[in-house]
Each structure stands twice: as C-alpha cells, then as structure tokens.
Amino acid sequence: MKIGVLGGTFDPVHRGHIMIAEEAKDALSLSEVLMVPAGQPMFKANERITSAEHRLAMLRLAVAGRPHMKVSTVEIERPGPSYTVDTVAELKGQLGDGDDIYFIIGWDSLEQFHEWREPARILSMCCLAAVPRPGWPRPDTQALEARVPGISGRVVFLDKPQVDISASDIRDLAAKGESIDRLVPGPVADYIKENKLYT
C-alpha cells in the first residue's frame, strides 16, 4: 500500500488540511492518509496550544465519513517533543514491509527540511510529497540537493491545492465571536462553539 502521512498541530483542523489530504491521495494514488496531530511540536515550544484531547476530537470529527482518512495518535501518545523522524520510524514499524510512506510537507517546510532532526534518515524511510503554499515559490531542487544529498530522488512536487487558510486566523475569528463556518468542517465549528475554544 501507499500511505500518506499529514502531520500538524491541527489547532484547529480546517478545510485546507482536508483539501491537502484529498489532493495528495488522488495525485499519488494513496490507499489512505494518516492525519497525525502533534503532541509537543518543537517549532511551537513557546506557544500556547489547545489540549491534545480537543485537537484529537476535532480531527476525528473532520475525517468522519472519509474512510480513506484516518487519525493516528502516535505523537500524542509518545512523551516529549514530536520529531518527524521518530514518527515515521514508528509508523514504518506498524505497516507492512512492502508499504510505502509519503510524508506530506508544504513547500515552505521543505525549504527548512535540512534543519529537521536526521533528514537523511527520514528520506531512507519515506518519500516526501511537497504541496504548494500561497506566497512561496517552488523550492529549487538543486539547492535542496546541496543541503540534503539524495532528496531530489525522494520528493514529489504537487501543483495543488493552493490553500490560503490559517489556523491562527481561525482562532482569532473565533475569539471575536465571528463565523468560521467557511473555514472549518461544520462539526468542527460546532465543537469549537460548544467547548468555547479560542474565546
């Protein structure tokens, strides 16, 4: 099988995340996409993050009725900071020997991939599926290769979707009591209201 992995804080999960997962599934003929909410994201160490319980609940609501999208709790269950290399290794151990992992990453994050923990080891375990980010040019393959040798043969560039939705904007709108219905799946919007998140 070909398995997509989309990690993120998902605070909250929004329509852009769903679009990215759907597009990657179709473009790469993936069997399924695993949505992996971060436990303790390294790059947001100083930010206040909604509890894993709420983020997980919202994610499960968002993927309900989408049998090809599943939620993995590997990062939430693992103590300490969340590193992609550990997550991919753990997922690799759970999957079959012949299964291929495609780690879905934005063009902006791909530019910083060389700064991630053990990038070469990540590439030895999976391919990268790079999705565009509004305002970011497509990363230069030669420049990527110079920083992480071998990456050019392990990355697939997708040309869509162009998603311009920000979780921080959603939190700001919710804090002001403004509608977020067009930005998040309906059940997620209801959950945010019922639990008074971001207010």
**CATH at residue 67:** 3.40.50.620
* Residue 118 is assigned to a structural domain of this protein: yes
* Residue 104 is assigned to a structural domain of this protein: yes
DSSP 65-112: T-TTEEE--HHHHS-S-B-HHHHHHHHHHHS-TT-EEEEEEEHHHHHT
Residue 185 pLDDT: 97
* Residue 101 is assigned to a structural domain of this protein: yes
Residue 44 pLDDT: 54
* Residue 14 is assigned to a structural domain of this protein: yes
* Residue 184 is assigned to a structural domain of this protein: no
Read off the pLDDT of each residue in 152-180 and give the average, rounded to a whole number. Answer: 94
> Coil, strand, or helix at residue 170?
helix
Residue 45 pLDDT: 53
pLDDT tens for 11-48 read: 999 999 999 999 999 999 999 999 999 987 665 555 78
Domain count, the chain: 1
Residue 48 pLDDT: 82
Residue 41 pLDDT: 63
Read off the pLDDT of each residue in 44-55 and give the average, rounded to a whole number. Answer: 81
- Which pTM value belongs to this model? 0.94
Structural domain for 84, as ranges: 2-167
pLDDT tens for 59-107 read: 999 999 999 999 999 999 998 888 999 999 999 999 888 899 999 999 9
> Which pair of tokens denotes residue 12?
């909250």
For residue 161, whether the previous peptide bond is cis, meaning omega lies within 30 degrees of 0, is: yes
Read off the pLDDT of each residue in 134-162 and give the average, rounded to a whole number. Answer: 95
Residue 46 pLDDT: 56
Give the whole-angstrom CA distance, residue 192 versus residue 55: 10
Residue 109 pLDDT: 95
Phi-psi region of 176 (alpha: psi -120 to 50; beta: other; left: phi over 0): alpha
* Residue 180 is assigned to a structural domain of this protein: no
Residue 135 pLDDT: 87
* Residue 135 is assigned to a structural domain of this protein: yes
Confidence of residue 138 (pLDDT cuts 50, 70, 90): very high
* Residue 152 is assigned to a structural domain of this protein: yes
